[in-house]
Structure 1
Amino acid sequence: MTITAKTITYAAGIFTVFWLIIAFLITSVEAVAYWTPGYYEKEYTKYQVLNDLPEMNMDDLLDVTDEMMAFLRGKRENLHVYTTMGGEYREFFNDREIAHMEDVRGLFIGGLWLRRIGILITLCFAALAYFWGRKSAERTEALKRLIPKSLCIGTGAVFAVALALIGIISTDFSKYFIVFHKIFFNNDLWVLDPRTDMLINIVPEGFFFDTAARIALVFAVIVGMFFVGNLVIE
């Protein structure tokens, strides 16, 4: 097998890993946000969010949360959600919160599309490797060694960068929380007032820190399993 072919295989493998890691990250976010039973109730209880809301019970708050998450996934057209607060049946979110959550939904939907792209690229890479390797036993054997190695290299590099970012962010979560919003939002709708905006009361900074930490843990487990799997194959 020529050096050029090896280089192409490594480059293609590392490129594929980059997109696959994005898919892993989006899946980690989904796993925490949507697939963790009781997570929101536990966080709401931990931060005593009901104390900062007009009279409201946990069941109603969880119903509002379900509607909000459905909106973020594109399964609900708008965020005009009504519930009972302070003995009054009223709309939970105000116009500013709704406008901000529309921006957040754009990020969620965009992330899901990135995952689809990552999966598609991975399938294309696997198909090309399979059909190219079938041409000879030598090529098949070479690919069996090169592909896992390239995937390990790519995974290790991306994971190292991710760990570095996690380490940096953990030194001052509040600072980088603001930086994140300034990067991904071109307005100040995310700057909410706890006196008038319910959203900031149900998801305080501590909630975001816990969620980010849990996402990082799930992400590390998925990437670690993928890395070890390729290492064993290699």
Structure 2
Amino acid sequence: MKILHNFLGILCGFALMIILLITSIEAVTYWTPGYYEKEYAKYGVLNDVHMEMDDLLDVTDEMMAYLRGNREDLHVPTIVNGQPREFFNDREIAHMEDVRGLFVGGLLLRRISIGLIVACVALLVALKADIRRVLPKMICAGSALFFAILAVLAGIISTDFNKYFIIFHHIFFNNDLWMLNPDTDLLINIVPEPFFMDTAARIAATYGVSVLAVFAICLIILYYRKK
């Protein structure tokens, strides 16, 4: 029975790490005030797309709303080089449909993970497990294992970001729509590779802090329980 208790606790830890990872991505890409404006200015994006900052930020808001399913399409009119036009062309729209699938899938995975934690805790209660001992201890163990796997992957990716960025696209996309042309596709110009690197680093930092907070809370609970 103890093995089952520990297994359920580790499952909670894994599910919690998935929740924190997806939430960290959401926090950086949706909840960080001024993030896109700062990145656009940093990499001279306005000169590449020949747009005013307010217009580009409006396009960005519509794009991010689309990615999480809050907008039906990506037909976004704007001003480019002083002329009215739609920002996204057909190829970009088709690619962003694939990207939206990843975003929406991630949000669904988070909801499933929350449900898994609720189910595991309910089962532990039904099995009359010592919740205050099992959960903090096994969440630490499961979280440490999950975080270690991610840390190894992050270390590998950091050796050649461009190489693994391409591998990522080959894994998650079954077409070449992600291979955009900066001469014809504005999307690739507003999210250059350094932008992705900055975003990945910020997500990693946010996630790391949240994981450390979970560890601290679990250790405090175990400490006071022992006392």
TM-score, length basis structure 1: 0.92
CA contact (8 A) 1:6 1:146 kept: no
What is the root-mean-square deviation in Å for CA atoms of aligned residues? 1.1
The one of 210, 216, 224 equivalent to 1:228 is 216
CA contact (8 A) 1:68 1:79 kept: yes
Runs of 4+ displaced beyond 4 Å: none
SS in 1 for 2:20: helix
Structure 1 gaps, min length 5? 134-138
Alignment of 1:65-144 (within 5 A): 65-133=60-128, 139=129, 142-144=130-132
Aligned equivalents of 1:20, 1:150: Cα separation in 2: 11
Instruction: Establish whether residue 45 from structure 1 lines up as the match of residue 41 from structure 2.
Output: yes
Give the structure with higher Rg (CA).
1
The one of 166, 172, 185 equivalent to 2:160 is 172
SS in 2 for 1:188: coil
Instruction: Establish whether residue 27 from structure 1 lines up as the match of residue 26 from structure 2.
Output: no
Cα distance, 1:14 vs. partner? 1.0
Q: Deviations over 1:39-73 (max 9, x none)?
A: 0000000000011113x200000000000000001
Q: Deviations over 1:56-115 (max 9, x none)?
A: 200000000000000001000000100011221110010000000000000000000000
Cα distance, 1:232 vs. partner? 1.7
CA contact (8 A) 2:88 2:185 kept: yes
Cα distance, 1:128 vs. partner? 2.5
SS in 2 for 1:90: strand
Cα distance, 1:165 vs. partner? 1.1
Q: Deviations over 1:14-34 (max 9, x none)?
A: 122212211111101100010
SS in 2 for 1:9: helix
CA contact (8 A) 2:8 2:124 kept: no
Q: Deviations over 1:128-147 (max 9, x none)?
A: 223433xxxxx5xx432222
Report how many aligned residue pairs link the two structures.
222
Amino acid at match of 1:197: D
Aligned equivalents of 2:133, 2:19: Cα separation in 1: 24
Amino acid at match of 2:179: V
1:149 alignment counterpart: 137
Structure 2 gaps, min length 5? 223-227
Aligned equivalents of 2:160, 2:82: Cα separation in 1: 40
SS in 1 for 2:74: coil
Aligned equivalents of 2:111, 2:40: Cα separation in 1: 32
User: Could you tell me the percent identity over the aligned residues?
Assistant: 62
TM-score, length basis structure 2: 0.95
